[in-house]
A and B are shown apart, each in its own frame.
Chain A
Amino acid sequence: MEDTQIIALYESRSEEAVSQTAAKYGNYLRRIAGNILPGREDTEEILNDVYLAAWNTIPPKRPGVLKYYLSRIARNLSFKRLEYLGAEKRGGNADLLLSELEECIPDPRRNPEEAVQAKQLGESVNRFLATLSAEDRGLFLCRYYYAMPAPQLAERFGISPRQVKYRLEKLRKALKKQLEKEGAWV
């Protein structure tokens, strides 16, 4: 079913919208949540929460691309769930991802009182992505948007896990440099 038809189902409050969403995007969303959360049970719960959030927000929202709209919900809810999990249950990948992102942050002592607007920061990230080759952009997004772990990235990009590590490190340094240049901590 086309996305426009699924969105029309949400708009007409037909419960078929949820089953069609699950049929079309269930596996995709499961992979996102599964990359972030350690357990299958948490992943399945998040999936149901994603469908509920879509049901509650469409309308009034009319997503530009349904797939990516759902992926953002899945990301958000998965990371929120992660916060509630105890350290022993969290698993390594998402925590490692956050510690990697920590490396991209300009020196917080430069302006410690200023809160950072996610949207403004997102625009900086988009500008950074525009400077990358399509392959580097893909690698960066697979890691920091889709939270894919290194072995998965190595397989997808046909490079060794060591090369994945090296290239991501280089990308993080480049992002940090751009955020510093743009004064993104302000």
Chain B
Amino acid sequence: MGMKATDLNQAMNYVEDGYLLELDTTKKEILTMKNRKKTLRILMAAALIALMAVTAVAAEGLNLFSLESGRSKTYRSYAEVAKAITESGMEDLHIPQTLDGGFRFQSVQVQDINGRDEQGSHVLTYRQLEAEYRSDAGQQLYLSIHPALESLGEHEGDPTAVRSLGDVTMRYYLDHYRLVPGDYTLTEADKQWQSQPGNFISYGSDKVEQQDVAFLCWNQGGVQYILMDMGAAFRQDTLFAIAQEMLAG
């Protein structure tokens, strides 16, 4: 018995929720999402800079000033995650389909990241994966995975909380970002705000906006994982529970 039209019609029931959700998303929402994506990219880069820059200078003499996205490719089907992992060049990764707390996989992006020094010279390149998860209530979490870049050493900043599972140490940071346009001149108030621990100013947004960001980092098997909660909507226990479930799985 070969394939019939009714088989193909039945197969439509297996269309991934992400595609149906896309269909429910209006152009205005897509625009908002694009803006959010842009904000996210700035925040992600800023967070990584905060994680890497100090030791980059100390260990390698790299004056890492900015991180920017190069080429990227997005996969929206969970069936294509293995392909994305292969393209990332990293091995033995696990990108879950669901995360504790009802978060479901939406997409994964393979992305080249270029690091530049203060003069704009290219000093670093690596490839990362960025997976997006969404809950029924529309809450989002992002999982960024990149090679641990051993030459950059361990982060020397002060996390808000630290927990261990086996030989893996998870570090939780709660930072406050003020995003400003590229040509923005800092006011005295900005400078004072920036001098407080955990406060960062990042350039590149369309307008001045402020955002709290929580992220949980851990290093496993030579790979750095960063679970990012834009807006810091979740308690740290929630992020630790997700990370622990991933580590256990």
A132 nearest CB neighbor, chain B only: B19
Contact of B23 among A101, A116, A141 (CB under 8 A): A141
Interface of B is mostly: helix
The residues of B that contact A68 with a CB separation of less than 8 Å are: 17, 20-21
Tell me if B137 counts as interface (CB < 8 A to partner A): yes
User: For the complex, what is the distance from the CA of A75 to the CA of B2, rounded to whole Å?
Assistant: 23
Q: Which residues of B contact A145 (CB under 8 A)?
A: 12, 15, 20
Contacts A2-B136, A121-B8; A75 near B19 (Cβ below 8 A): no
In Å, the complex CA distance between A116 and B77 comes to 21
Known: A3-B136, A137-B22. A98 touches B11 (CB 8 A): no
How close is A41's CB to chain B, nearest CB, in angstroms? 23
B11→A121 contact, CB < 8 A? yes
- On whether the beta carbons of A118 and B1 are closer than 8 Å, the reply is no
Question: B2 near A65 (CB under 8 angstroms)?
Answer: no
Which listed residue (A75, A79, A112) contacts B1, Cβ 8 A?
A112
Give the residue among A65, A119, A123, A185 with the most B Cβ atoms within 10 A: A65
- Contact in complex: A4, B136 (CB < 8 Å): yes
A26: Cβ under 8 A from any B Cβ = no
Q: Quote the shortest CB–CB distance from A141 to chain B (angstroms).
A: 6
B14 engages A122 (CB within 8 Å): yes
**Across the interface, do A125 and B2 meet the contact criterion of CB distance under 8 Å?**
no
Tell me, yes or no, whether B102 is within 8 Å of chain A by CB: yes
* B-contact bits for A110-140, CB 8 A (1 contact / 0 none): 1111111011011111110110001001100
Interchain CB contact under 8 A, A75 and B5 = no
Q: Does A161 contact B (CB under 8 A)?
A: no
A75 touches B12 (CB 8 A): yes
| Beta-carbon contact of A116 and B19 below 8 Å | no
14 contacts between A and B (CB under 8 A): A2-B136, A3-B136, A4-B136, A71-B20, A116-B3, A116-B4, A118-B13, A118-B14, A119-B11, A121-B8, A138-B22, A144-B12, A145-B12, A185-B2
Instruction: Show the binding face of A for B, using Cβ within 8 Å.
Output: 2-4, 64-68, 71-72, 75-76, 79, 97-99, 101-102, 104-106, 108-116, 118-119, 121-127, 129-130, 134, 137-138, 141-142, 144-145, 179, 184-185
**Contacts A101-B5, A112-B1, A121-B8 given; 18 further ones with Cβ under 8 A?**
A2-B137, A66-B136, A71-B20, A75-B13, A101-B8, A101-B9, A116-B1, A116-B4, A122-B11, A122-B14, A125-B11, A126-B15, A126-B16, A126-B19, A130-B76, A130-B80, A138-B23, A185-B3
A-B complex: 7 closest residue pairs judged by Cβ atoms: A122-B14, A108-B2, A121-B11, A102-B5, A122-B11, A101-B5, A118-B10
